[in-house]
């Protein structure tokens, strides 16, 4: 009797998931612990691996199907099996599999969505070199082979609708990924349920830049990680949160919850969209520990390895739009948090320094906050505290 392939246990906050990619076909040999399936939630992609050497006997949920926690999506049969002994493909899998007459179907390492995209655009997969893991052919590989194939975002290509709008003009309707849908839902929720206001200030980054330039090589040699700007902002934010604890609080019904700790959410870009892992108990971390954790999260985000636990919680968020060139923006709250700090591009500008006109590397910063519990004066003072700390980094060392 075969072993059931189940959806991983989902946390209480996640009610359902989507079958993203089957990496193995029915009857294809699989090694123990080999990656066979991706399940996408609204936060991360969960990997399912083979419990032993063997083959996938059947698939009951195809790519794009919605599934629940621990739901059975297929049957795995332990033990070796030759290609001649492959079982018949059930109806559930046939809908996404290519026709038997397709010449590349038997040997091309690609997902059903990639094979369908190739079929729709007359691309012979046997002539495509795969750039994915283990030589797998990706959507980008197919798009590069056929000029009129548009590179599509991470979504279920089986449900793409191609709508001709005239000669040479094509539109593609692509459903949102579960992560993008969740982001949209949370952003709309934040705007509807909170009285969001934003205050701005600017920071002379010269002192931080000088300090970083002086010690970055020694810092990297000592701790094995680069000294970036984010750790300076995290430390300054934690100090400012101690002075203004309402910024670190959240609303729960008619109550205000004050958090006696600083769990800082750091917005990180990933191939699937923006994710926000959490640095926990930052008040107990030094700058090297902060930089190491940020670097670890960035690597995990790039490879889709962040866990749900690493992205849950958080009492305050810092987002750096400056890495993309943003000069100024109004960041949106990350519910149930009550405030978010937005960093921006450092740009040399003419400013007045006393009675002199000088050119300094300046950064606009923005604090969006929930005006239901945070007064304007508190938000302004909080941002001024961050400005003062960063314009005089010695305050970090002297605790002033």
Q: Report which of residues 184 and 360 the model is more confident about.
A: 360
Whole-angstrom CA distances from 378 to 144, 197, 234 are 53, 12, 19
Top-confidence residue, 339 or 267: 339
Q: Residue 163: is its pLDDT beyond 90?
A: no
Residue 136 has pLDDT above 70, yes or no: no
Rounded to an integer, the average pLDDT of 381-397 is: 89
Predicted confidence band of residue 231 (pLDDT cuts 50, 70, 90): very high
Of 336, 343, 291, the closest CA to residue 319 belongs to: 343
Q: What percent of the chain has pLDDT over 90?
A: 42
Has residue 263 got a pLDDT over 80? yes
Most confident of 83-97, 137-151, 302-316: 302-316
Contact call for residues 344 and 326 (beta carbons, < 8 A): yes
Active site residues: 371, 375
Mean pLDDT in the chain? 81
Closest among 337, 75, 47 to 196, alpha carbons compared: 337
Predicted structure pTM score: 0.65
Q: Where are the domains positioned within the chain?
A: 1-97, 109-175, 179-398
* Fold entry, domain 179-398: Chloramphenicol Acetyltransferase (3.30.559)
SS3 180: helix
pLDDT of 33 over the 80 cut: yes
The Cα–Cα gap between 178 and 182 comes to 6
Top-ranked range on mean pLDDT: pick from 175-184, 294-303, 355-364, 386-395: 355-364
**204 or 158, higher pLDDT:** 204
Looking at the domain 109-175, which fold is it?
Dihydrolipoamide Transferase (4.10.320)
Does the domain formed by 1-97 have CATH 2.40.50.100? yes
In whole angstroms, what is the distance from residue 7 CA to residue 277 CA?
A: 23
pLDDT tens per residue across span 211-225: 999 999 999 999 999
pLDDT at 133 over 60: no
Q: What is the pLDDT of residue 119?
A: 64
Q: 381 with 244: CB under 8 angstroms? A: yes
Does residue 3 carry a pLDDT above 80? yes
Of residues 156 and 330, more confidently modeled: 330
Q: Span 151-177, mean pLDDT?
A: 61
The residues facing 343 across adjacent strands are: 320
* Contacts of 209 by beta carbon, 8 Å cutoff, 6+ apart: 346, 361
Fold match, 1-97 / 109-175: no
pLDDT confidence of residue 96: 43
The average pLDDT across 370-394 equals 95
pLDDT value for 330: 94
pLDDT of residue 213: 93
Share of the chain above pLDDT 70, in %: 77
| pLDDT score for 87 | 45
Long-range pairs, 294-298, Cβ under 8 A, ≥24: 294/228, 294/230, 294/231, 294/266, 295/225, 295/226, 297/266, 297/268, 298/268
> How high is the pLDDT of residue 70?
87
- Residue 320 CA to residue 326 CA, distance in Å, equals 9
Which helix (H) or strand (E) segment holds residue 35: the answer is strand 35-40
Could you give the C-alpha distances from 81 to 74, 94, 223, in angstroms and in order? Answer: 17, 21, 50
Peptide bond preceding 336 in cis form (omega within 30 of 0): yes
Higher pLDDT, 130 or 360: 360
User: What is the model's pLDDT at position 147?
Assistant: 45
Helix, strand, coil % over all residues of the chain, rounded to 5: 35, 30, 40
Residue 192 in this model has a pLDDT that exceeds 90: no
Which pLDDT score, from 0 to 100, does residue 11 have?
Answer: 66
Question: End-to-end alpha-carbon separation of the chain, Å?
Answer: 68
55 to 28, 80, 105: CA distances (angstroms): 6, 7, 18
């Amino acid at each position: 009797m075969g072993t059931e392939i189940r959806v991983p246990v989902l946390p209480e906050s996640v009610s359902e998931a989507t079958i993203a990619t089957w990496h193995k076909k029915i009857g294809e040999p699989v090694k123990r612990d080999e990656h066979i399936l991706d399940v996408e939630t609204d936060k991360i992609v969960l990997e399912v691996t083979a419990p032993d050497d063997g083959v996938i006997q059947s698939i009951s949920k195809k790519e794009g199907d919605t599934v629940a926690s621990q739901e059975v999506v297929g049957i795995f049969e332990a033990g070796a099996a030759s290609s001649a002994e492959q079982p018949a493909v059930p109806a559930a899998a046939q809908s996404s599999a290519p026709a038997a007459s397709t010449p590349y179907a038997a040997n091309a390492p690609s997902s059903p969505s990639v094979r369908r995209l190739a079929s729709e655009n007359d691309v012979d997969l046997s002539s495509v070199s795969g750039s994915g893991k283990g030589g797998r052919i990706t959507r980008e590989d197919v798009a590069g082979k056929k000029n009129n194939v548009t590179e599509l975002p991470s979504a279920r290509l089986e449900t793409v609708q191609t709508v001709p709008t005239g000669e040479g003009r094509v539109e593609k309707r692509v459903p949102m990924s579960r992560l993008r849908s969740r982001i949209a839902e949370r952003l709309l929720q934040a705007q509807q349920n909170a009285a969001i206001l934003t205050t701005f200030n600017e920071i002379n980054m010269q002192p931080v830049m000088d300090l970083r330039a002086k010690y970055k090589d020694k810092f990297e040699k000592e701790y094995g990680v680069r000294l970036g700007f984010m750790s300076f902002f995290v430390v300054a934010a934690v100090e400012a949160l101690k002075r203004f604890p309402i910024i670190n609080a959240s609303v729960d019904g008619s109550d205000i919850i004050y958090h006696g700790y600083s769990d800082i959410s750091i917005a990180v870009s990933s191939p699937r969209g923006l994710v926000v892992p959490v640095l926990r108990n930052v008040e107990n971390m030094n700058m090297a520990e902060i930089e190491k954790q940020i670097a670890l999260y960035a690597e995990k985000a790039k490879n889709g390895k962040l866990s749900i636990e690493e992205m849950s919680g958080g009492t305050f968020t810092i987002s750096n739009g400056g890495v993309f060139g943003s000069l100024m923006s109004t960041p949106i709250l990350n519910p149930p948090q009550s405030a978010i700090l937005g960093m921006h591009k450092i740009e040399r500008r003419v400013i007045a320094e006393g009675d002199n006109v000088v050119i300094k590397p300046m950064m606009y910063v923005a604090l969006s906050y929930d005006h239901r519990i945070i007064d304007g004066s508190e938000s302004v003072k909080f941002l001024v505290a961050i400005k003062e700390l960063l314009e005089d980094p010695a305050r970090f060392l002297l605790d002033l």
